Amino acid sequence: MHSTHQPREVAQALDTTGAEFRRPPQLATPRAFILHYIRAWPWHFAALSTMVVLAATSAVGIQYEMKLLVDAMARVPQQVNSAWIALAVFIALVAFESIMWRLSGWLACRTTIGVGVQIRLDLFDYLSHQSMRYFADNLAGSLGHRITGTAGNFGALTNTMIWRIGPPVVDFLGALVIFWLVDWRMAVIMGAYVVVVTSGLIVLGERGRPLHSTYAAKSNVVGGEIIDVISNMWAVKAFSAREREWRRLREHFEAEAGAQRTSWMYTEKVRVLYDVVLWFMAAGMLAWALYQWTRRTITPGDVVVVSALTFRILHGSRDAALALVDLVQQFGYIDDTLHVIGKVPTVVDSNEAHDMERRRGSIEFRNVSFHYDRRGQTLRDFSLYVPPGQKLGVAGPSGAGKSTLISLMQRLYDVQDGAVLIDGEPVERIKQDSLRASLSVVPQEISLFHRTVMENIRFGRPEATDQEVFEAASAACCDEFARRLPDGYDTIVGERGVKLSGGQRQRIGIARAFLKNAPILIMDEATSALDTESEMRIQRNLIEKLQGRTVIAVAHRLSTLVGFDRIIVIVDGAIVEEGTAAELRARNGVFEKLWRLQTEGLAITGSSQRRRA
């Protein structure tokens, strides 16, 4: 069997200059996409096509053998030996045809499923190179629906070409030969009819392509909307929005249904038109054959074979033409997917990119300017140096640009001006996977996989032993609650960790980062959902277990940063204060103001709780 693991042309295409990205050729058009995977499995598709051609040829041969059998029986005196020979060949062809169809079904199963796996892997591989901005603009459910649907569309499309278009074409060519032997005029008229009508149906089918593409796009949107609502069911219930979301989904469903109805009915109108033309053509051909027999210019066997092949060709040509219409629909589905998933990534590795060699842990922002859109800059001429092993805290009001620093360190986005350097190397010159292998990140929103606690922690370092997982969990203060879960570390946490509290998810995220043990640890509001005791324990473990490692921690809760070597305060994308917690408080600036607000807020909360008690 042909291996389903192909060289990653997607990855090769991504390894180019960021200024001139070369998209993989198979993602350019539906035609290129289909031909790419046919070429990737050449022997499978060649053998499959051969089997179908042989089966269809046998079917035509069966009709001709029926003519010979009828003629042998109709002659006076009867030609008994010729009749038996015709019957034997007839039975042999029936058996051969059946064998070919069954073998083609077996091979089509293996080929279609194998190619479907490869398509989904290739599309996911390409999709995973997209920037985070891309995923913010597209629903995850819709993207998943497109990947899965495209594999199915490719299977349906190739099966349509092989089984619904191939056999009628063979029937048509074989029938023309037989018609020519009976009466060359029949062959000419039948050939002209099939060519004209099939061409007309193809033109009509092409005109319906925009309708089919519109339906495909709306179907993908609906798939994403459903998943989006289901994944946010807590919010739906919490805000009593069940009826509101039901109405919203109904609008999407009705829009999709309208597009589907338009697409479907267009195809049905084409079929009705063809049925009318088919009726006239079949009646004319059969009447002509019968007339020729009355004049003794053709035999009874000729009438039988003309009758059988006329209906076979006319129905076959109709099926082939309508299959071409369906082909246009399937092209539309694939085209819609390529339009969305095939977009050029905005963050790519350059030809000069290489793996990181030194992993000491220094970080530098050198005159960086960055904006998410053109409405305003998040960072302006921002400069910062963090030496290896330093524990740096980042504070400031919401929207100041703190989380942006975290994203730029990971190169989830590219800066517009300036440079971000890790160990003195601009991140654009480091392969993205190698760069991120040097970073352990605990994001503000912890997203867990629908897997066990053990698997979610081990995701940080898959080769880690169970004991190493337990030690990381203990350092992150999640060992105790993990063991109390129904199945302990083997408990499934639910989609995105929905079965756990926010604090439990954060502890697992911290444990995952501890286990990775990278030279740089980045924490973005990583302890915001933890109680004070757990936060203090994790702080001590940070200091004890991460000696010599660089730590960057963004925090609104300023007490989290008290033990850090240095704290910077960012306002409107610029550093306005810098120093230790004690030094910043003594300056009575922005940091002290934020500190007092938090302290007063805690005092008010504590007083209210005492009064209620």
| pLDDT attached to residue 598 | 74
| pLDDT attached to residue 543 | 66
Percent of the chain with pLDDT over 90: 4
Mean pLDDT over each residue of the chain, to the nearest integer: 78
Lowest-confidence pick of 249-253, 333-337, 593-597? 333-337
Lowest-confidence pick of 20-34, 325-339, 424-438? 20-34
User: CA 233 to CA 222: how far, in whole Å?
Assistant: 16
- Bridge-based pairing of strands 566-571 and 391-395 is parallel
Classify 478 as helix, strand or coil.
coil
User: CA 305 to CA 65: how far, in whole Å?
Assistant: 9
The pLDDT confidence band at residue 528, using thresholds 50, 70 and 90, is: low
Q: Are 389 and 361 in contact (CB under 8 A)?
A: yes
Residue 5 has pLDDT above 50, yes or no: no
The pLDDT confidence band at residue 20, using thresholds 50, 70 and 90, is: very low
The more confident residue out of 352 and 79 is: 352
Q: Are 351 and 420 in contact (CB under 8 A)?
A: no
The pLDDT confidence band at residue 78, using thresholds 50, 70 and 90, is: low
Q: Are 57 and 174 in contact (CB under 8 A)?
A: yes
| pLDDT attached to residue 573 | 84
Residue 489 has pLDDT above 80, yes or no: yes
| pLDDT attached to residue 387 | 92
| pLDDT attached to residue 612 | 45
Lowest-confidence pick of 372-376, 475-479, 549-553, 560-564? 372-376
User: CA 249 to CA 23: how far, in whole Å?
Assistant: 35
Q: Tokens standing for 376?
A: 């305003």
pTM of the model: 0.66
Residue 333 has pLDDT above 60, yes or no: yes
The pLDDT confidence band at residue 365, using thresholds 50, 70 and 90, is: very high
User: CA 411 to CA 432: how far, in whole Å?
Assistant: 7
The more confident residue out of 75 and 515 is: 515
Domains of the chain (ranges, CATH numbers): 13-341 (1.20.1560.10), 363-438+518-612 (3.40.50.300)
Residue 14 has pLDDT above 80, yes or no: no
Structure confidence by residue, pLDDT tens digits, 146-164:
888 888 888 888 888 888 8
* Three-class SS of 332-377: HHHHHHHHHHCCCCCCCCCCCCECCCCCCCCEEEEEEEECCCCCCC
- Bridge-based pairing of strands 379-386 and 391-395 is unpaired
| pLDDT attached to residue 314 | 67
User: CA 59 to CA 448: how far, in whole Å?
Assistant: 57
Structure confidence by residue, pLDDT tens digits, 239-260:
777 788 888 888 888 888 888 8
